[in-house]
Amino acid sequence: MSRLDARFAALETEGRAGLVTFVTSGDPDLATSQAILDGLPAAGADVIELGMPFTDPMADGPAIQAASLRALKAGQTVVKTLDMVRAFRKSDSDTPIVLMGYYNPIYSYGRDRFLADAIEAGVDGLIVVDLPPEEDAELCLPAMDAGLSFTRFVTPTTDARRLSSVLANTSGFVYYVSIAGVTGTAAPDPSQVAAGISRIKSHKAVPVAVGFGVKTPEQARELACVSDAVVVGSALVGAIAHTLDDAGRAGPSTISSVLDLARHLAEGVRAREVA
């Protein structure tokens, strides 16, 4: 059983939803980013999405776009991102890590080399937002054959025929986009999210994590009542940005601000148990 499968099975046994946290690797610098990554499980993250910085993150909102640019300016690379996972695994062998990003950096790195190095580093899965199901032979199928999960996005506008195609080779979990638009730009409606998740599960028995627009513990709690996990990214990345100095350098509260917010979000998710 993979780490992702084991974590979602454990969450089901515990009768609660999970918290999936997103941060961009190397933002605002390598050391600070590593400290945040290392601290997320203790702060309540059940699954970690680690963003691979890219110059043109078209599916992301302003906060994550800015995080990618900060990381790239600080010298972050695919090699350094994988090294961060290796360092994380020295103290945490249980928390799943999913790399999220775009295909260009993977292609430039070399697909087969990337898959081998990702597995060796301790990566559990991939989310590659610009490779549709029609391109599964390019990365999805080789990744799954190598032992990595491949998570797909489903949106409120995904019709029935497209849904079957999207879910065909999805593994680990499905990422349900709770709003129409880019990350971090609007608030989700729990009742509409519940209907969307029901539609997904009628096609395939797979955990569904809900993201886009989740910013507060209250929103996290509401969505935890209708999903298997809640994804928060822009709010955490925004917490980094708010603590930087005028030169974009980390301040004394950068790490603690992110981890404190993660704790509050985890408390919101876990509040489903007593709601």
DSSP 167-198: HHT--S-EEEE-SSSSTTSS---HHHHHHHHH
Kindly give the interhelix angle for 254-270 and 217-224, rounded to the nearest 10 degrees: 40
Catalytic residue among 60, 124, 136, 228: 60
Instruction: Please give the pLDDT value at position 184.
Output: 47
Q: Is residue 53's pLDDT more than 70?
A: yes
Contacts of 215 (CB under 8 A, 6+ apart): 184, 187, 232, 234, 235
Q: Is residue 85's pLDDT more than 50?
A: yes
Asked, as a colleague might, if the bond just before 28 is cis with ω within 30 of 0, I would say: yes
Instruction: Please give the pLDDT value at position 141.
Output: 98
Q: 188-237, pLDDT tens digit by residue?
A: 788 899 999 999 999 999 999 999 889 999 999 999 999 999 999 999 99
**Per-domain boundaries in the chain:** 3-273
Catalytic residue among 27, 29, 46, 49: 49
60 carries an active-site annotation: yes
Q: 237-264, pLDDT tens digit by residue?
A: 999 999 999 999 999 999 999 999 999 9
Cβ-contact 169, 4 below 8 angstroms: no
pLDDT bracket for residue 178 (50, 70, 90): confident
For 3-273, CATH number?
A: 3.20.20.70
Contacts of 89 (CB under 8 A, 6+ apart): 121, 122
Q: How far is CA 120 from the centre of its chain?
A: 20
245 carries an active-site annotation: no
Give the C-alpha separation, 117 to 230, whole Å: 28
Give the mean pLDDT of 109-134: 97
Q: Is residue 40's pLDDT more than 60?
A: yes
